[in-house]
Amino acid sequence: MPPDRAALGQFLRSRRDRLSPAQAGLTAFPGARRVPGLRREELAMLAGLSPDYYSRLEQGRQANISDEVLDSLARALRLDETEHAHLRDLAAPTSRRRRPGPDVPQRPDPGLLRLMTMLDHVPVLLLGRRGEVLARNALLPAVLGRPLEPGTSFFRFLFQDPVARTRIVNWSDFASVSVAAMRRETGRRPHDRQLVALIDELRATDCDVARWWDDHAVRDYASVAKYIQHPDAGPLRFDIEIVASPQEPDQTLVVYTAEPGSATARMLPILASWDAGISIDISAFDRS
């Protein structure tokens, strides 16, 4: 079975397993149940497909799949917008998928850098493909406790650096969403060998990553609250906002916002004064 079709079958099975007949508004078919969610025949009926055709989809034996079939499956499985888009990516014929050219290092988008400069009063991080740090301002390492220099991997920090687990109070919530976002990336860029290698490395070294990956959850990079226990500044609370540029879809500006007048907002100028000598760092991309 081609790898892309295997991923499609696994995703369909995972979404089918999480949906019970009652949740789908269906009277369960009679007989002993060997699956936690819908049977193949039940899902096929809900989607208006023959059981044989649906079995071919889940087993990776159906080369071409129409948009109408994918829409029907999305409705039957009650997929959200991101899951629906992921289903379409997985079902796209290999010939229509964009294969990557030479892996040229990304340079920070100038517009996103200008925006970062204007947001020097809050922690800001610019991420590229595979969670690579493209730039960050002074407050970001002051809050997270690591330099996170351009060219390093934010995901390796998140999953392999013990500081991340101790400083990010709600680490599991934030980390599980990050794994779901990585899975979404694999659907968009299935031929990215470096991304696949990174995920394999993280799954092999972290049982949490392996467990969340096997759940097949998908998310776009989205706003998630982050709670920090700073060793000097005490507890900090941020809402994480994501800014993307249409010119650079593979780059995201991650902005840590604080409620005006909150204890976190009052503490940020103090943290900035402790690190007053540090400015926006893009040094890895300024080498001649």
Q: Are strands 248-257 and 234-245 parallel, antiparallel or unpaired?
A: antiparallel
**CATH class of the domain whose range is 110-277:** alpha beta
Model confidence band, residue 128 (pLDDT cutoffs 50, 70, 90): very high
The angle subtended at Cα 131 by Cα 127 and Cα 135, nearest 5°, is 30
pLDDT score for 245: 84
pLDDT tens, residue by residue, 219-267: 987 677 899 999 999 999 999 999 988 888 889 999 999 999 999 999 9
Residue count (the chain): 288
SS3 label, residue 101: coil
pLDDT over threshold 80, residue 103: no
15 vs 79: CA distance, rounded Å: 8
One-letter amino acid identity for 191? Answer: H
pLDDT over threshold 70, residue 1: no
pLDDT over threshold 70, residue 76: yes
Q: Where in the chain is the domain with CATH 3.30.450.180?
A: 110-277
**197 to 155, 203, 206: CA distances (angstroms):** 13, 10, 14
Q: Give Cβ neighbours of residue 276 (< 8 Å, ≥ 6 apart).
A: 138
Model confidence band, residue 181 (pLDDT cutoffs 50, 70, 90): very high
Pick 98 or 22 by higher pLDDT. 22
Model confidence band, residue 95 (pLDDT cutoffs 50, 70, 90): low
Q: Which of 127, 189, 185, 186 shows the shortest CA–CA distance to 156? A: 127
78 vs 73: CA distance, rounded Å: 8
**Placement of tokens 């899902």 in the chain:** 43
* Rounded mean pLDDT, 126-155: 95
285 vs 271: CA distance, rounded Å: 26
Helical pair 207-214 and 171-188, crossing angle rounded to 10 deg = 50
Q: What is the pTM assigned to this prediction?
A: 0.86
* Rounded mean pLDDT, 118-133: 94
> CB burial class (10 A; 0-12, 13-18, 19+) of residue 27?
exposed
Is 240 in contact with 226 (CB distance < 8 Å)? yes
Is 133 in contact with 150 (CB distance < 8 Å)? yes
> CB burial class (10 A; 0-12, 13-18, 19+) of residue 284?
middle
Let me know if domain 3-25+36-97 sits in CATH 3.40.50.460.
Answer: no
pLDDT over 70, % of the chain: 90
> CB burial class (10 A; 0-12, 13-18, 19+) of residue 67?
exposed
DSSP codes of every residue in 35-84: SSS--HHHHHHHHT--HHHHHHHHTT--S---HHHHHHHHHHHT--HHHH
Q: Where in the chain is the domain with CATH 1.10.260.40?
A: 3-25+36-97
pLDDT over threshold 50, residue 278: no
198 vs 195: CA distance, rounded Å: 5
* Rounded mean pLDDT, 33-40: 83
